[in-house]
Amino acid sequence: MKSLIKEFTKGIAIENPTFGLVLGLCPTLAVSTSLINAIGMGVAATFVLLGSNIIISAVRRLIPAQIRIPCFIVIIATFVTINELMMKAFFPALNQALGIFVPLIVVNCIVLGRAEAFACKRPVLDSIFDALGMGVGFTLALCIIAAVREVLGAGTFLGFGLVKGFEPITVFILAPGALLTMGILIGIVNYWHIKLKTSKEITKAGCDGCK
């Protein structure tokens, strides 16, 4: 049980896909213009991650190592398509807001990364917790970036106006704002990690030390 919790929390904190592993930045930068989009994208990606992790870890012994990548892609693409069809049928507004980034979850490196690095080597239960942790971590990171951008760039929070007379800083809604916000947030997270490490006085040598 303890190890399962560890698999879950690592995705949120140390190995956070956005701030720790710095994976899947394209959708992160593109859809984090408003908080509601960020939540939608996070949930969609978590669904795909969960589905692909479960299936891949369940059939991991049947897939020969030489053709594992095409197999992973087919499985991931299947879940993305299910996701897209469901969204179109039941949440058309969200589908329109996320646009091209829903089908593009296929090439989101977080999903393939978890399949390759985790699900194809570990049992189903571990993979479920890994997927949930990564999904929640990705969603949280997206939400933090989106909240900063929406508040500064549009003067709203979840679509509600905040302060009257506040002239929004439009650049935060645009692409440069995404890079600025993310850079600063990654900086803060890294600073916090380093501080945490030195306070525990854990010093590791070699490649493991500079993760």
Question: What is the contact surface with other proteins in residues (CB under 8 A)?
Answer: 33-34, 62-64, 66-67, 70-71, 74-75, 77-78, 81-82, 85-86, 88-90, 92, 96, 99, 153-154, 168, 170, 173-174
- Would you say 62 or 202 has its CB closer to other proteins? 62
Question: How far apart are CB 124 and other proteins at their closest, in Å?
Answer: 17
Which 8-state DSSP code applies to residue 76? H
Nearer to other proteins by Cβ, of 114 and 149: the residue is 149
Residue 83 CB, shortest distance to other proteins, in Å, is 10
Name residue 47's amino acid. Answer: F
Which CB, 99 or 161, lies closer to other proteins?
A: 99
Cα separation values, 119 from 44, 51, 56, 75, 127, Å = 19, 11, 6, 12, 5
Say if CB 11 and CB 135 are below 8 A apart.
yes
Residue 114: CB minimum distance to other proteins, A? 18
Give the contacts of 124 (CB within 8 A, at least 6 positions apart): 54, 57, 58
- By beta-carbon proximity to other proteins, the closer residue of 72 and 129 is 72
Report d(CA 111, CA 135) in Å as an integer: 9
Q: Closest separation between CB of residue 117 and other proteins, Å?
A: 20
d(CA 159, CA 58): 41
